[in-house]
Amino acid sequence: MDIAKVSNGTHDAKTRTDNGCQVSASTPYTVIMRYLIIDLEATCWEKGTRPGRQEIIEIGVAMLVSPADPPEDEFSAFVRPIDRPGLSDFCTQLTSITQADVDRAEPFDKVFPRFIGWIGPQPFQWCSWGAYDLKQFRTDCRRHNIAFPESFENHINLKKRFAEHMGLRPGGMREALRRLELTLVGTHHRGIDDARNIARIVQAKPELVA
């Protein structure tokens, strides 16, 4: 369990509320750093896929309170694309996400605030396999005129860190699992399943988020 902050306290006997709990201002307290392992899925095509054209269609998150322990919580939501609402056959075959899945979903400007609310006020460090997810969040925030959260600039590229730690060229999540002798669980290219698998890599190598 990682300690994000330890207050030195004060001599003031007043109390304050921290996340709904009354804490004496004269008593040292701790705030736990949470690690959000995030994986996005987005619209794609067999030909013509490029970052500015893609839209998020799934947000999958596994929350770790300790890098070495199983996820404490998860967030999973489909997202309805607005610019090109029809999924390509290639996209459905790659991700297993269907047209019905996204047709029933809310658009990004509704899902993203709900996601931010789920994260809550406590400090967090978010991580993904590569820099793609960071760039795609920025793209969709611009598309929907949503201010990109300052807290999201604090990002760990786990693909890069894993490669540096292992002395390898950067590779895919599936290859990292193989090198750690871990079996892929769930469906590859489903956001929530990939987030869970990346969390397992972090559990095996907690120094990646140190």
Nearest residue to 40 (alpha-carbon basis) of 139, 171, 150: 139
Which are the contacts of 192, defined by CB distance < 8 A and separation ≥ 6?
39, 58, 60, 61, 62, 74, 76, 186
Give the Cα separation of 206 and 134 in Å (integer).
21
User: What's the Cα-to-Cα distance from 44 to each of 123, 130, 178, rounded to whole Å?
Assistant: 33, 18, 26
CB 54 within 8 A of CB 135: no
CB 170 within 8 A of CB 181: no
Q: How many helices (H) does the chain have, and how many strands (E)?
A: 7, 9
Which positions are annotated as active-site residues?
Answer: 41, 189
Give the Cα separation of 130 and 201 in Å (integer).
14
Angle CA 17–20–22, to nearest 5? 45
The continuous run of DSSP H or E covering 23 comes out as: strand 21-24
